[in-house]
Structure 1
Amino acid sequence: MKKLAASKGVTLCLNDGKRSRAQQIGLLDTYVEEYGSVAAHDLVLPWQKSAHVKGYAVDVQPAGADRWLQATGGRSGFCRMYDNETWHFEYASAYRTSGCPARQPKPAG
C-alpha cells in the first residue's frame, strides 16, 4: 500500500496498528482521565472489542493519506469504519471484492 500510495504522490504512514490487551486498557484509561468516560468510549473500545487488539486495524497519517486510502473503496482490503475516526481502517480480504461496509457513526463499545 505504501508503494502504491507513493506512486500517486501520497505519503502513507502507519500511526498505530496491533495493540496488546494491556496497551488498549492503558489507552482507554488515559482517555477516560483526559476526556471523561463518555468521550473516551467514543474513541477507544474496551480491549475485548478492539480491532487493534485483534490485529486487523490500523490508524494512518497524515490526513491526505486517510482520504486516499478511503478513496480506494476497499480494493486494498482496508476500509474506514467510523465517521468520527478518519484515520482508522480495518482490513478484511472480502472488502477487495465486496467493497466497504456502511460506516458507523462511532465505535460501539
Structure 2
Amino acid sequence: MVVIAAITAALRYQPWNSSSAAPPSSSSAAPPSKAPRREKHGALGKAGGVVPDGVTVFDDAIPAVADLDPDLLKALRRAATDVADDGVEFYVNSGRRAPEYQNQLLREAVSKYGSEVEAARWIATAATSPHVSGDAVDLGHSDATTWLSEHGAEFGLCPIHKNEPWHYELRPEAIDHGCPRMYADPTQDPRMQQ
C-alpha cells in the first residue's frame, strides 16, 4: 500500500504535457516536458531555469543546461553520445534553476500537497536544492532514464531519490564503486536538512 501510495503521489505531481494522452506508464519514466509550467512561470523564463520542450543535454543556448556544473554536463554528454547510436536521446526537463524559480516550485508544491512537510518529499528549498547550484538534472524520456539506471554509474551519473527516477547527479566515485544507495525521497537526504 505504501509503494502504491508513493507511486500515485509521484504520478499526480507530474506536470503532464497537454499533448500526451496519458502519463508514462513506466515507473522509471521521467517527468514530461515543462510546457504547462512555461506558461505558469513565464515571468521567470529560460533565464530562471524554465526548460522548453525538446531540449537536450547539448543545447548550450538554454541556461538550465549551459549553467549546469561543467563536470556533470560533460558526463551527461559523454553518456548521451555513447547511447545515441541506439536512438536514445537525453532530454532535459529541468537543470539549473534560479533560487526564485525553486521557491516558486516549492510554493506550488505546498499548495498542491497541503503542507511543507509533504511538499518536501518532492521539492527542496532554494537553500538546499542541487538544482539551484547546477548539480542536478531531471531527464526524460523513460528510455534515457532506463538506460542510465543500468549504465549511468559508468559515467558517474546516479539517481539519488527512489521517488524521482528522472533526477540524476554526478558521483565520480560511482565509476569505480557503483552508485550509492538511493534515499527514499528528498526528506531522507541529509543535504536537504536545513
TM-score, normalization: structure 2?
Answer: 0.52
Size of the aligned set, in residue pairs, is: 109
Unmatched segments (≥5 aa) in structure 2: 1-78
Stretches of 4+ moved more than 6 A in 1? none
| Percent of matched pairs sharing the same residue | 34
- 8 Å Cα contact 1:16/1:58 also seen in 2: yes
SS in 1 for 2:147: helix
Deviation, 1:44, is 0.4
Quick one: higher RCO (CA 8 Å, sep 6+), 1 or 2?
1
Q: Residue 119 of structure 2 aligns to which amino acid in structure 1?
A: A
Q: Which has the higher strand share?
A: 1
Unmatched segments (≥5 aa) in structure 1: none
TM-score, normalization: structure 1?
Answer: 0.89
Q: Deviations for 1:35-59, whole angstroms, at most 9, x for unmatched residues?
A: 2223321100111111111211000
Deviation, 1:63, is 1.3
CA RMSD of aligned residues (A): 1.5
Q: Choose 1 or 2 for highest CA Rg.
A: 2
SS in 2 for 1:79: strand
Structure 2 counterparts to residues 37-56 of structure 1, below 5 A: 37=115, 38-56=117-135
Q: Which residue of 1 aligns with 2:20?
A: none
Q: Residue 32 of structure 1 aligns to which amino acid in structure 2?
A: V
- 8 Å Cα contact 1:32/1:39 also seen in 2: yes
Deviation, 1:86, is 0.9
Structure 2 counterparts to residues 1-109 of structure 1, below 5 A: 1-37=79-115, 38-108=117-187, 109=192
